[in-house]
Amino acid sequence: MKRNRLMYDYEAYVLILPNVILYAAFILIPAIGTIGLSFTDFNIFQSNFVGLRNYTRLLDDARFLRSLGNTLYYTVGTIVPSLVLGLLIAVVLNNPVRGRAGFRMVIFLPHVLSVVAVSLAWMYLYNPSAGVFNQLLRQMGLPRFDWLRDPDMAMPSIIAMQIWNGLGYYMVVYLAGLQTIPDYLYEVADMDGASRPRKFFSITLPMLAATTFFLIVTGVIFSFQVFGQVYIMTRGGPLNRTTTIVHQIYYRGFEGYQMGYASAMAVFLLLLTVTVTLVNIRVGRGRGADDAA
Amino acid sequence: MLHSLKPRAVSRSLKQSIAREVRFVVLAAVTFLMAFPLLIIIFTAVKSDPEMVLQQFRLLPREWRFDNFSAAFQYGDWGRYYFNSLYITVVTVVGSLLLNSLAGFSFARLRFPGREAIFFLFLVGMMVPYQSIVIPQFVVLRSIPLAGGNDLLGQGGRGWLNTYWALIVPFLSGSFGIFLCRQFFFSIPKSLDEAARIDGARPFYIYWRIFLPLAKPVLATLAILKTAHTWNNFFYPLVMISSRDMYTVQLALQQFQGQFTVQWNLLMAATLVSILPMVAVFLLAQKHFVAGIVTSGIKG
C-alpha cells in the first residue's frame, strides 16, 4: 500500500489539470459538439433536432458540391507542381554552390508571411490595370488577363500564388530528406558508371519516397483548410469558381448564421482530415516494418 | 554539359566548376523570381501617387516617398492594432509553452493511473483542424459564465467573444506542443530526476528547476511556431472579433484593403510593416524556424 503510493505521482493530475480543462473545453467537446450540431438547425438563438436533413441538403447544395471540386482542384494544383519544383530546387541546392544559405533563405521567406499579406500583395500583382503582371504582358505585347475575375483564371491564379508561398516549405523538407540518403549509394553508382539522371531516378527519387509521402499528406491536410486567400481575393467568386470547403463553412455559419448546416460541412472536413491522417499513420507503420526488415 | 568518355583529373575539375556556375545561375534566377513579389511590396510601398497611375512597369520608384508609411497609418488606430496583436501573441506563446511543457513533463516523467489513456485523448486532437470545430468554439466562448454580461449559466451576454481571451485561451493547450515536449523529456536520462527525488523534491519542483531549463531547444522551436501562427492568424480573429478596437494587425490590414483598394502604394506600405516582425523572427532564428516547420507536419 505504502509502496504503491510512493510509486504513483498523484500530483500529476494537478499538473495536467489546466491542459485537460482547456483541451476539453476548446478541442474535445467542440469536436463532439460539431457532430451534435450537425443534426440540428442551430442558428445561435435556437436549436431543434432535424435528423439527417443537413446532410441530405449537402448533397443538393450546388455551391457546396462546387466547393468540394474547387478544393480538390486547389489541392492537386498546388501539391503536384510544389513537389516537382521543391525537389528540383532542393537537389540543386544540395550541391556546393556560392551563396547557398542566402538562396535557401530567400526561397523560404514567403512561407513565413501571413495569408493576408500574401493575398494583398498578389491582388496588386494581379490587378487588371495597375497590376505588375498585366503591365509586363502589355510591354511584351502579349494579351492581358483579368486574373481574379475571369472564371477560368481565378483558381489557377490563387494556385500560382500558393505555389510561390509554399515552395520554401517543400524545398526545406526535401533538403532534410536528401541529408538522410547515405553517400555510399552514389559512390557505388559512380563506380558502375551511372549517369546523373540514372542516379536521380534510381537512388534519389526512391530514397525520398517517405519524404514525398509526408509532403503529400501535410499538403493535403493544409489544402483542405484553405480559406484566407479565397475570402480576401475573390470571396469565392467569380461564379463560385474559387469557393472552398472552409469558405462555405464560414459563409453558411458566420455570414448566414446557419450554424447547424455549416456544422454538417465541418463534420465532412473533420472526417476527411481524420481519414488522411489515419492512412498516413497506417502507411507509416507499414514502412517502419519494411525498414526494420 | 560537357561530355568526355574518360574524364581525367583536369577536365573533371573543369566540369565541376562549370557545373557549379550553372547551379549558381539557375539558383540566382529562381531566387529572383521568388523574391520578385517581395521586391514589389517593398518598392511599391515607397512610390508616389502620380507614379502609381503610370501604366509603364518600373520596379524602382522614381521618387522615394517614405511618408507613405505615416500616410497609411492615418487610416485607423494602427498603434492599437499592433498592441492587440503583440499582446495576444506574447500571452499565447508564454502561456502555451508553460502549459505544454508541464503536461509533456507529466506524461513523460510521472507515473499515474490513466496516463496513457489521457495522453491518447490529447493525441486525437492532432487530427482535428480548428476550422472544423470553430462553430462550437464560438458557442463555448460566448457561453463563458459571468463574462461579458453572461449569468452564472453563461447566458444573456457575449461571453469572451470580441475579447483578447477569445484569441488566446483556445490556443493555450495544444496536442502538438505537448507531444513534442513529451518526446523531448523522454530523451533525458532517468538519473537526473531520480537523484532529485531521493533528495525529496516534489514533481513540480523537478519540472521547474530541472526539466524546464533543459527544454530550451524544444521550447524555442515551439515558441517560433506559435508566434508565427498567432501573429499570422486571420480566420480566428475574423470569426471572433467584431469591434474595431479589438482588431489584430491581420484583420485591420484586410479591412484596410476593402476601403482603399485604389491606393496600392499605401496598402503595400501597411503590408510591408505588418510582415516585418515575422521576417525579423525568421532572420534571427532561422534554424529553429526551419526545424519547427519540418517537424510540425500535421499542424502548423
Residue spans per domain, chain A:
1-32, 38-292
Specify the fold of A38-292. Answer: MetI-like fold (1.10.3720)
Residue of A nearest to B267 (CA): A120
Residue spans per domain, chain B:
10-68, 76-296
CA dihedral sign of residues B257, B83, B90, B224: positive
Contact B203 A15 (CB under 8 A): yes
pLDDT digits (tens, 9 = 90+) for B225-277: 999 999 999 999 999 999 999 999 999 999 888 776 678 999 999 999 999 99
Which of A30, A172, A221 lies at the smallest CB-CB distance from B133?
A30
CA gap B196, B243 in Å, rounded: 51
CA dihedral sign of residues B259, B261, B264, B269: positive
Q: How far is B227 from chain A (nearest CA, A)?
A: 11
Contact B121 A28 (CB under 8 A): yes
Q: How far is A201 from chain B (nearest CA, A)?
A: 19
pLDDT digits (tens, 9 = 90+) for B101-128: 999 999 999 999 999 999 999 999 889 9
DSSP state of B57: -
Contact A97 B133 (CB under 8 A): no
* Chain A from 194 to 253: CB within 8 A of any B CB: 214, 217-218, 221-222, 224-225, 227-228, 231-232, 246, 249-250, 253
Give the SS3 label for residue B281.
helix
Which of B23, B35, B281 lies at the smallest CB-CB distance from A106?
B35
Q: How far is B132 from chain A (nearest CA, A)?
A: 4
Distances (CA, A) of B143 to A41, B139, B148, B154, B246: 19, 6, 9, 4, 19
Contact B128 A27 (CB under 8 A): yes
Contact B235 A246 (CB under 8 A): yes
CA gap A130, B168 in Å, rounded: 39
CA dihedral sign of residues B124, B126, B127, B129: positive
Q: Which residues of A touch B37 (CB under 8 A)?
A: 110, 121-122, 125, 164
Residue of A nearest to B240 (CA): A254
The pLDDT assigned to A112 comes to 92
Residue of B nearest to A250 (CA): B239
Residue of A112, A149, A252 to mutate, interface with B, max B Cβ within 10 Å: A112
The pLDDT assigned to A207 comes to 95
Give me the residues of chain B with pLDDT under 70, please: 1-10, 260-261, 295-300
DSSP state of B210: I
Cell of B248: 489584430
Helix axes B175-186, B115-124, angle to 10 degrees: 130
Contact A19 B178 (CB under 8 A): yes
The pLDDT assigned to B4 comes to 47
How many CB pairs below 8 A link A and B?
272
**Phi, psi torsion values for B109, nearest 5 degrees:** -120, -10
Contact B128 A270 (CB under 8 A): yes
Contacts 24+ apart (CB under 8 A), A249-252: A249/B131, A249/B132, A249/B134, A249/B135, A250/B235, A250/B238, A250/B239
Q: Which amino acid is at A192?
A: D
Per CATH, the homologous superfamily of domain B76-296 is MetI-like (1.10.3720.10)
The pLDDT assigned to B10 comes to 63
Q: How far is A106 from chain B (nearest CA, A)?
A: 6
Which of A16, A26, A224 lies at the smallest CB-CB distance from B118?
A16
Q: Which residues of B touch A30 (CB under 8 A)?
A: 133, 135-137, 140
Contact A221 B129 (CB under 8 A): yes
Question: Distance from first CA to last CA of chain B, Å, rounded?
Answer: 41
- The reply to whether A255 touches chain B by the CB within 8 Å rule is no
Residue of A nearest to B20 (CA): A97
Residue of A nearest to B265 (CA): A124
Contact B133 A33 (CB under 8 A): yes
Chain centroid to CA A283? 19
Contact A124 B267 (CB under 8 A): yes
Residue of B nearest to A42 (CA): B135
Q: Are B167 and B240 in contact (CB under 8 A)?
A: yes
Q: Where are the alpha helices (DSSP H) in A45-181?
A: 53-60, 62-93, 100-108, 115-126, 132-139, 154-179
Query: Mean pLDDT of successive 10-residue segments in chain A (293 residues)?
Result: 63 94 95 96 92 95 96 97 97 90 94 96 92 92 93 97 96 93 92 91 94 93 96 93 97 95 97 92 67 38
Cell of A14: 494537478
Contact A266 B105 (CB under 8 A): no
Which of A12, A222, A273 lies at the smallest CB-CB distance from B106?
A12
* Chain A from 138 to 177: CB within 8 A of any B CB: 138-139, 164, 167-169, 172-173, 176
Rounded (5°) CA angle B94-B289-B184: 65
Contact B112 A249 (CB under 8 A): no
Q: How far is A268 from chain B (nearest CA, A)?
A: 8
CA gap A78, A99 in Å, rounded: 28
The pLDDT assigned to A289 comes to 45
- The reply to whether A135 touches chain B by the CB within 8 Å rule is yes
CA dihedral sign of residues B235, A86, A67, B127: negative
The DSSP-derived string for B128-177 is --GGGSHHHHHHHHHT-TTSTT--TTS-SS-TTTTSHHHHHGGGTS-HHH
Q: Which residues of A touch B13 (CB under 8 A)?
A: none
DSSP state of A49: B
The pLDDT assigned to B140 comes to 95
Q: How many CB atoms lie within 10 A of CB A196?
A: 10
What ipTM score was computed for the predicted complex, to two decimals?
0.90
Give the SS3 label for residue A153.
coil
Comparing CA positions, the residue from A146, A71, A118 lying closest to residue A232 is A118
Contact A120 B298 (CB under 8 A): no
Tell the residue number behind the cell numbers 494583398, with chain if given.
A120
CA gap B218, B285 in Å, rounded: 13
Cell of A103: 538562396
Contact B297 A214 (CB under 8 A): yes
CA gap A133, A147 in Å, rounded: 9
Beta bridge partners of A49: A40
Q: Where are the alpha helices (DSSP H) in B169-296?
A: 175-186, 190-198, 203-206, 212-214, 216-232, 235-240, 249-259, 264-284, 286-296
Q: Are A23 and B100 in contact (CB under 8 A)?
A: no
Distances (CA, A) of A25 to A110, A157, A163, B40, B134: 34, 39, 36, 44, 12
Contact A18 B173 (CB under 8 A): yes
